[in-house]
């Protein structure tokens, strides 16, 4: 008899269905889950922080408002992000200085130029024929600039004292 005739056909072993994953795969799954949870939390926090900013922007863009209403919207938005007891007591030039100091340096001059006239005429006596201050498009643009650039505050170390905002220990 021939030795090759005695050999049997090659067959594969049965499949193993339930074998445990190695430690590295479990670690990879945990890292992926932690990363997804972290990203979801960051996105939710970012949306929550920008919610008041977006409401104020919509209010200014959708409704033509006078200067007094524009300032009210700015104050409302500032109160949402900065200490209420400090912001609520500000008005006129003090409030304008706060708004300017809350902006990044590159936008301060633009905001100051666009808003100076409106803040200067805010508390002047109104004429008898016109009980509202006129709609000032420059001031609305300045308000939109402030809402988009200053909110939410990027500088975590921005502190408020009785004289106004202080950034990183240096008076603004």
Tell me the per-residue pLDDT of 85-138, one tens digit each, with 9 for 90 and over.
888 888 888 888 898 888 888 888 888 888 888 777 776 666 544 545 455 688
What residues pair up with 167 in beta bridges, in sequence order? 170
Residue whose pair of structure tokens reads 């939710």 in the numeric block: 44
Angle (deg, nearest 10), helices 23-62 and 67-81: 160
pTM: 0.63
Between residues 107 and 20, the one the model is more confident about: 107
């Amino acid at each position: 008899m021939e030795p090759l005739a005695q050999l049997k056909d090659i067959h594969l072993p049965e499949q193993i269905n339930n074998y445990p994953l190695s430690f590295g795969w479990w670690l990879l799954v945990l890292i992926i889950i932690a990363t997804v949870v972290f990203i979801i939390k960051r996105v939710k926090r970012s949306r929550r922080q920008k919610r008041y900013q977006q409401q104020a922007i919509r209010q200014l863009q959708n409704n033509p408002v006078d200067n007094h209403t524009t300032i009210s919207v700015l104050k409302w938005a500032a109160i949402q992000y900065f200490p209420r007891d400090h912001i609520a007591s500000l008005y006129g030039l003090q409030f304008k200085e706060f708004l300017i100091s809350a902006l990044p340096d590159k936008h301060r001059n633009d905001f100051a130029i666009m808003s100076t006239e409106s803040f200067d005429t805010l508390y002047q006596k109104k004429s008898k024929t016109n009980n509202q201050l006129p709609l000032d498009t420059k001031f609305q643009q300045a308000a939109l600039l402030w809402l988009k650039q200053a909110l939410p505050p990027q500088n975590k170390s921005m502190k408020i004292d009785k004289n106004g905002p202080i950034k990183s220990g240096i008076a603004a």
